[in-house]
Amino acid sequence: MIFRTSPLWSVLLLAGCAGFQPQPVEQPLTPPAQWHQETNAGETVNADWWQAFGDEQLNRLVNRAYANNPGLAATAQAVIQADLQLRNAGAALLPTVGASGSAGKQASQASGQDRATGGSTSLGVSVDYEVDLWGRLSAAESAALADFEATRYDYDAARITLAASVASTWFEWQELQQRVEVARKNLELGERTLKLVEARYRNGVADRSELSRQQTAVQNLKNAVPPLEYQARQRLAALRLLTGDYPFTEAEPRAALLDVSVPAIDPQTPASIVTRRPDLAAGEARLAAASANIEQARAALLPSLSLSGAVRASTDSFFSLSDPLRTASAVLGLSQTLFDGGQRRNTVEISESRRVALLETYRASLLTAFQEVGDALDREALYKGQETRLQSILEQAEETLRLTEIRYREGADDLLTLLESQRSVFDARQQLSQVRLNRLIAAVDLYKALGGGWEPEASGPKA
């Protein structure tokens, strides 16, 4: 049987193929021309930004986290699910083809007559197709595509967050290790002073109160070491969890916080943030999906048009199609809901409200992105100046302690002056270690706030 295409069918098919064309998202904010913090020339952020710290152990930890972190693996599965949803939405634009077949026998016997048997066989093929007359199906496909892109960007944002968490936790552990070493050095210094006080006490130069005071100071220094060691073990366990390993296993790695370099970073212009952060790209994709959902809901208000055709061959023989009876049918269906209590109208308004909410959420994300970059730049400048000053303070405190020890041996200074000099050295060492950690964390936060060298073309999980 031959079907001829009429001009009406051509118009309907062209309308179905036209589809929904999503509109680009307009930026709800105008970014400032430059950052409020004056920035010096630095390196551009690239995808392997953590390598700029010059720490080979950190490089291995990030690569291991990318390979083994269970949270990142779960996020990758969300991308796969969104891809399958997109394929389902695209399949709705294609015809549905079905096949059916049957064969059977039947027997009948009237009273006083011989038993009669008969059979039948039939095969058929059917085709059903909904013409996308108003772009409802193509809008659904566009929404699924935008959702798929959003999940890809979410995965990229999760990778950047994971790398930043690994780097921050690694530096925090190194700083705690540094504090443990400083506490042990302070204890060695206190014990050395205690020996000096004991010698002076034996010679009758120092009294019992001086000896007791220094013994108490040494006990306090001993008591400060175990809590720091415990905190260091906890941070190392957290780090191993990020890399997908069992906590509290293996030996502690060797590291030196003050040997880690703090990179200079070029933040570029504020306007570039919009295209450099995957979380903002995900927000734009969800706005595009919301726009497509609105068009889909509006198209559902209009009539739907469907085509169906079937071809069937049947015979009165069992498992035989010799000399079959052939039939063919074609149906054009037009349907329109006349009353649904306002459900479809409400669906349109719900979709429009969701898009407004997403737009406000996207605007808030933009403001947060600018705040994160500006805050990281401020902290970077603040802690850099503090570290320089603390280096000078530590050098002066150590020189003062050396001179005070000499004067104490000679009896020119008392024990309280010596203890105060020691305390100044202890504090300067602790503060210097903390400020170096603050500088490294600020650099990590700045890399993360700037998008971690993300490129849209290379987004999504890698096989």
* Gyration radius from the chain CA atoms: 38
For residue 5, pLDDT over 80 is answered with no
pLDDT reported for residue 9: 38
Better pLDDT: 162 or 455: 162
Mean pLDDT, rounded, for 84-101? 88
Task: Please answer whether residues 80 and 106 qualify as being in contact, where contact means their C-beta atoms are separated by less than 8 angstroms.
Answer: no
Q: Which two tokens stand for residue 439?
A: 């500088």
Mean pLDDT, rounded, for 36-63? 86
| pLDDT per position as a tens digit, 200-250 | 888 888 888 888 988 998 999 899 999 999 999 999 999 999 999 888 776
pLDDT reported for residue 144: 92
3-state secondary structure 163-194: HHHHHHHHHHHHHHHHHHHHHHHHHHHHHHHH
Question: Could you tell me the pLDDT band of residue 174, with boundaries at 50, 70 and 90?
Answer: very high
Spatial CA neighbour of 369 closest among 381, 357, 361: 361
Distance CA 232, CA 107 (A): 87
Question: Could you tell me the pLDDT band of residue 331, with boundaries at 50, 70 and 90?
Answer: confident
Go through the chain and tell me how many residues it has: 463
Q: In this prediction, what percent of the chain has a pLDDT beyond 90? A: 40
- Residue 414 phi/psi, 5° resolution? -90, 175
Angle at 137 between CA 135 and CA 143, to 5 degrees: 100
Distance CA 49, CA 165 (A): 13
CA-CA-CA-CA dihedral for 339, 340, 345, 349, to nearest 10: 170
Tell me the average pLDDT of the chain. Answer: 84
Distance CA 197, CA 188 (A): 14
Spatial CA neighbour of 258 closest among 55, 443, 41, 63: 55
| pLDDT per position as a tens digit, 426-440 | 889 889 989 999 999
| pLDDT per position as a tens digit, 244-293 | 988 877 677 777 787 888 998 888 888 888 888 999 999 999 999 999 98
Better pLDDT: 22 or 17: 22
Q: Which residue has the tokens 């009876």?
A: 325
Task: Please answer whether residues 454 and 166 qualify as being in contact, where contact means their C-beta atoms are separated by less than 8 angstroms.
Answer: no
Q: Which residue has the tokens 């590291």?
A: 255
Angle at 435 between CA 432 and CA 439, to 5 degrees: 140
Ranges 30-39, 41-50, 90-99: which has the least confidence = 30-39
- Residue 68 phi/psi, 5° resolution? -120, -10
Distance CA 408, CA 395 (A): 20
Q: Which residue has the tokens 């062209």?
A: 14
| pLDDT per position as a tens digit, 100-152 | 888 777 766 556 665 656 667 888 898 998 888 888 888 989 999 999 999 99
Question: Could you tell me the pLDDT band of residue 14, with boundaries at 50, 70 and 90?
Answer: very low
For residue 12, pLDDT over 50 is answered with no
| pLDDT per position as a tens digit, 375-404 | 999 999 899 999 999 999 999 999 998 998
Task: Please answer whether residues 247 and 25 qualify as being in contact, where contact means their C-beta atoms are separated by less than 8 angstroms.
Answer: no
pLDDT reported for residue 339: 85
Question: Could you tell me the pLDDT band of residue 6, with boundaries at 50, 70 and 90?
Answer: very low
Ranges 19-28, 41-50, 254-263, 454-463: which has the least confidence = 19-28
Question: Could you tell me the pLDDT band of residue 71, with boundaries at 50, 70 and 90?
Answer: very high
Question: Could you tell me the pLDDT band of residue 27, with boundaries at 50, 70 and 90?
Answer: low
Task: Classify 375 as helix, strand or coil.
Answer: helix
Question: What distances in angstroms separate CA 390 from CA 142, 174, 394, 434, 439, one per listed residue?
Answer: 57, 19, 6, 11, 13
Task: Classify 108 as helix, strand or coil.
Answer: strand
Q: pTM for the full model? A: 0.83
Q: Which two tokens stand for residue 268?
A: 């570029």
327 Rama sector, left if φ>0, alpha if ψ -120 to 50, beta otherwise: beta
Distance CA 337, CA 345 (A): 12
Mean pLDDT, rounded, for 172-189? 89
Count of CB atoms within 10 A of residue 340's CB?
11
Spatial CA neighbour of 180 closest among 222, 240, 215, 237: 222
Q: Which two tokens stand for residue 122?
A: 């039939």
